[in-house]
A and B are shown apart, each in its own frame.
Chain A
Amino acid sequence: MPTHQLNLFGKILLYTLLVLFAIQFAAPFAWMISTAFKPLEETMALPPVWIPSEWKWENFTQAIDSMGNFWRYAGNTLYVALLSVIGSVLSSSLAAYGFSRIDWPGRDKVFYLCIATMMIPFPVIMVPTYTLFRELDWIGTFKTLYVPFFLGNAFNIFLLRQFFLGIPKSITEAARIDGCSELRIFWQIILPLSKSALLVIALFTFMHSWNDFFAPFIFINDQENYTLALGLQAFQSRQGGTEWHYLMAASTLIILPLIVLFFFTQKTFIQGITATGAKG
């Protein structure tokens, strides 16, 4: 619907609404960043101060120091996230290929089963999962966080399958007639054609892994193995929430990489989400 269909009143209303909403969505960010730079007294000032009287960059170094081992947490988070991405891309694309480019009886039924597993909430299965990891002697290690991604992920499989189904059959027929194995078709034809889709699931997995709290909260207990999310939670829990300038500085540091990543991959990202919804 183009704007010219609206009369002047409509246009004013439209832009007023958009600007108001944009302000509401931006305000928490602005407040977070503003607080992150304030001296302690100003965080509690009434009426609120938006521009700190002095920009305290040292809040960030202070936050990093008092969070414990911030850089180590960041390294742990990155390590887990990257392994999760590798695992997810590998296993989900393999499974999606099996669910889309090979015709076998009962395939779609199994696929629905796969989709249905998305409905299982983590809290429902966390006790047995904990006991399983315990049997494997994995509690406290990163394996509890990334290994599940090596075993497929319903959401990613679903996304990739949509994409693989969209690739014309004719493209792979020739290779098949030449006697190429399915693995090679998958590796040399399908995957290169699906780079954008693979990037999407890589991004989603990365974000998911970076954000995850519940699983590390239960499976990781040694502080040296904390992820950023755990570190932040422990930090705020320890000081009961009063040194808001440090908490906001730490939050800013954790969010920042995600925002940067988003701006670099914006197009792929939005396409990816769009694909999620397509004929949901």
Chain B
Amino acid sequence: MPCLFKYPFLAFLGASSLLFLASCSRSPDGLTEDGRTIVTLWTSWAGTERAGIDSVVEDFNSAQDKIYVRTLNITDPQTKIMLATAGGNPPDIAIMNNQFIAPYAENNALTPLDGLSEAAGITPEQFVKTFWETATYRGRTWAIPLTCSVTTLHYNKKIFREVGYDRPPETLEELERINDLITQKRDDGSIARIGHFPLEPGWWRPEWSNWFGMGSYDGEDRMLFQDEGWQDAAQWLASYHQRFGKDELIKLRSGFGRFSSPQNPFFDGKVAMVLQGIWMNRFIETFAPDDFEYGVAPFPASEKADIPYFAIADADLAVIPKGADHVQEAFTFMRYLIEDGGLEKLALAHGKMTSLKEMSPDFYDKHDHPYLDVFLEIANSGFAKARPQLAQYQNYFTDTNEAANSLLYGLVTPDEGLDKIQSRQQKALDKKQLRWSRVEESYQDLWQEQIDETKIYNLPSKNN
């Protein structure tokens, strides 16, 4: 038998491996058909928030002809952006929440923006201090804060009137007295309605100690779970299972509907007071009953604390991941946002505040939030603070959430619970500190180099 098929087979094998293995080079996706540089932007904003950024991007794309911004949606941004960045395939711009600046910067996953800001003439003074601080870490600037918020007490006015109150509480203790007035139990002992429940929403569980005058982290080398703030907060959390019963609370919570639905417990009257941000107005408009009446006030601190109230400052920021292909173009867009009114438009669309100190008069007129002034005042009061900048933020968040739950339901005594979380979180902090001490020098040199490089960038002039 002749061996005719030997070569075709080899050819086929070779061709297929060549085709699939060697066609590896990533397509240079840098340019549009008309030669504009494509800047990819990743965000987890969806729905109306996505529509907001889309319209701003459209403005930018039609205002000039050098850069074309392309927006892509992602879920789970904290993980996905890092996976892409570490894999060497990052977007040019990513939108992320302020808690993640520290972990990203400390893992060398961001481009420092100090040089670019200098070249563009952007200064910290343009921004509200609280919000600007969320963009800095280890002495460098890593992001441009965009839309922002602070948390406030949202209360159901109708329920307040029902129990004879026509104003918000002024201390946390008063809030708890109102809580007892509002809370109703059914005949079988289950809770029909509660005044306030620290797990609704569960987003701020790690931060409750702030309302007793102290956070969880001293900003340097100590976690503060065994200090007065958390001691008092733990007693306060534990008072919930003592007053209302663990099983009743679990049952109550399992009956809560989803946040963005008419069954949101605040909208359907199951909870009368919640700690929420400026975005809540949008959800109230969409999902709450037509006759829903709510008020907004600073969320009062405990009498034991030396502050009248506390608020968590929250910002969405734009970052340029390390290894992004178009740093200069990406920054041009970021600059457009803060200098050419893009951010204002975005904030109006999101129903939020901006990170900027000065806004056009238009902004206040057009903004549809009935309590905008309360938020603005709190943001500038000095009592609003962002969540701690920790390189191990995710770990801190998960662990503290768990601890707050256990304290509230009485699964551990306050002493025991705080003892455990302190030892775990102090260890986690020590580990990161130790790591930082090992790499600090090389990282700082590297960053300085990048900053010097980008200082000389010639950014396009402001109006084109």
A contacts B: CB pair < 8 Å: yes
A residues engaging B (CB < 8 A)? 68, 83, 86-87, 90, 130, 133-134, 136-141, 143, 146-147, 150, 175, 178-181, 183-184, 187-188, 218-219, 221-224, 234, 237-238, 240, 242
Beyond contacts A147-B20, A184-B5: 10 other A-B pairs, Cβ-Cβ < 8 A, are: A137-B26, A139-B87, A146-B20, A184-B3, A218-B83, A221-B74, A221-B81, A221-B84, A222-B72, A234-B76
A83 touches B83 (CB 8 A): no
Given contacts A87-B20, A181-B3, contact A130 B13 (CB under 8 A): no
Query: Which chain A positions have C-beta within 8 A of B259?
Result: 240
Q: Is the CB of A86 within 8 A of B16?
A: yes
Interchain CA distance A237-B26 in the complex, whole Å: 29
Beta-carbon nearest neighbor of A68 in chain B: B73
Bound complex: CA of A221 vs CA of B5, how far in Å? Answer: 42
| A141: chain B residues within 8 A (beta carbon) | 24, 26, 89
Establish whether residues A139 and B89, one from each chain, have CB atoms under 8 Å apart when the complex forms: yes
The reply to whether B75 and A237 contact each other, CB–CB distance below 8 Å, is yes
Name the A residues within 8 Å of B13 (CB-CB): 90
**B55 touches A (CB below 8 Å):** no
Contact across chains for A139 and B1 when beta carbons are under 8 A apart? no
Q: Which of A86, A130, A178, A188 contacts B87 (CB 8 A)?
A: A130
Closest chain B residue to A144, Cβ basis: B87
Which A residues are CB-close (under 8 A) to B163?
A: none
Answer whether A237 and B1 are a contact pair too, CB < 8 Å, given A140-B87, A141-B26, A147-B20.
no
Q: Which of B50-73 contact A (CB under 8 A)?
A: 72-73
Instruction: Report if B439 contacts A (CB, 8 A).
Output: no
Nearest-CB distance from A27 to chain B (Å)? 24
Residues of B1-25 whose CB lies within 8 A of A: 1, 3, 5-6, 9-10, 13, 16-17, 20-21, 24
Chain B, residues 245-265, CB within 8 Å of chain A (1/0): the string is 000000000000111010000
A139 contact from B5, B9, B24, B83, Cβ within 8 A: B83
Nearest-CB distance from B54 to chain A (Å)?
15
| Residues A237 and B76 in contact, CB atoms below 8 Å apart | yes
Residues of A within 8 A of B72 (CB): 222-224
Whether B199 sits at the interface, judged by CB under 8 Å, is: no
19 sample A-B contacts, Cβ–Cβ < 8 Å, listed by A number: A86-B16, A86-B20, A90-B13, A90-B16, A137-B89, A146-B20, A150-B17, A179-B3, A180-B3, A181-B3, A183-B9, A184-B9, A218-B83, A222-B72, A223-B74, A237-B75, A238-B75, A240-B259, A242-B261
Asked whether B46 is an interface residue with its Cβ less than 8 Å from the other chain, the reply is: yes
User: Quick check: is B86 within 8 A (CB to CB) of the other chain?
Assistant: yes
B124, CB-defined interface residue at 8 Å = no
Chain A residues within 8 Å of B80, by CB? 221
- CB closest chain-A residue, reference B17: A150
Compute how far the CA of A90 lies from the CA of B13 in the bound complex, rounded to whole angstroms: 8
| Alpha-carbon distance A238/B74, docked complex (angstroms) | 9
In Å, the complex CA distance between A136 and B46 comes to: 33
Q: Which of A136, A140, A178, A238 contacts B24 (CB 8 A)?
A: A136
**B30 close to chain A: CB less than 8 A:** no
Min distance, Cβ B129 to any Cβ of chain A, angstroms:
33
Instruction: Evaluate contact between A134 and B87: CB separation under 8 angstroms.
Output: yes
Once the chains bind, are B87 and A183 in contact (CB under 8 Å)?
no
CB nearest neighbor in A for B10 = A183
If the complex has contacts A136-B24, A146-B20, A242-B261, are A183 and B83 also in contact, measured as CB distance less than 8 A? no
> Is B289's beta carbon under 8 Å from chain A?
no
Chain A: minimal CB distance from B60 (Å) = 21
Find out whether the CB atom of B88 lies under 8 angstroms from the CB atom of A137.
yes
Distance between Cα atoms of A223 and B80 in the complex (Å): 10
Specify which of B87, B257, B258 is in contact with A221 (CB 8 Å cutoff).
B87
CB of B322, distance to nearest CB on chain A (Å): 13
Instruction: Provide the residues of chain A in CB contact with B5, threshold 8 Å.
Output: 184, 187-188
Give the shortest distance, in Å, between B281 (CB) and chain A (any CB).
20
Which chain B positions have C-beta within 8 A of A187? 5, 9
Chain B residues with Cβ below 8 Å from A138 are 24
Contacts A140-B89, A222-B72, A222-B84: A184 and B20 contacting too (C-beta < 8 A)? Answer: no
State in angstroms the CA–CA spacing of A242 and B81 once bound together.
26
Closest Cβ–Cβ distance, residue B9 to chain A (whole Å): 5
Contacting residues, chain B, for A137 (C-beta < 8 A): 24, 26, 88-89
Cα of A270 to Cα of B164 in the assembled complex, Å: 72
Q: A221 contacts B83, CB within 8 Å?
A: yes
Least CB distance, A90 to chain B, in whole angstroms: 7
- Which of B10, B21, B46 contacts A147, CB < 8 Å? B21
**What residues of B have a CB within 8 angstroms of the CB of A184 in the complex?**
3, 5-6, 9
For B87, what are the chain A residues with a Cβ–Cβ distance below 8 Å?
Answer: 130, 133-134, 139-140, 219, 221
Is the Cβ of B74 less than 8 Å from the Cβ of A139? Answer: no
Known: A237-B75, A240-B258. A180 touches B26 (CB 8 A): no
Which of chain B's residues have a CB closer than 8 A to the CB of A181? 3, 6
In the complex, are the beta carbons of B83 and A134 less than 8 A apart? no
Chain A residues lying within 8 Å of B24, measured Cβ to Cβ, are 136-138, 141, 143
- A154–B257 Cα gap in the complex (Å)? 47
A134 near B21: Cβ-Cβ < 8 Å: no
Q: Which of B6, B26, B81 contacts A183 (CB 8 A)?
A: B6
The distance in angstroms between the C-alpha atoms of A147 and B17, with both chains bound, is 10
- Report B-chain residues with C-beta under 8 Å of the C-beta of A237: 75-76
Contact between chains at B86 and A134 (CB < 8 Å): yes
In the complex, what's the smallest C-beta–C-beta distance from A195 to chain B, in angstroms?
17
Task: Give the complex CA separation of A188 and B89 in angstroms.
Answer: 43
How far does the alpha carbon of A139 sit from the alpha carbon of B74 in the complex, in Å? 16
A233 to B10, CA, bound (A): 41
A179 to B86, CA, bound (A): 53
Question: Is there contact, CB below 8 Å, between B20 and A134?
Answer: no
Compute how far the CA of A181 lies from the CA of B72 in the bound complex, rounded to whole angstroms. Answer: 53
- Asked if residues A150 and B75 are in contact (CB atoms below 8 Å), the reply is no
Q: In the complex the two chains form, what is the Cα distance from A238 to B49 in whole Å? A: 14
The 4 closest A-B CB pairs, nearest first, are: A139-B87, A140-B89, A221-B84, A234-B75
Residues of B within 8 A of A175 (CB): 1
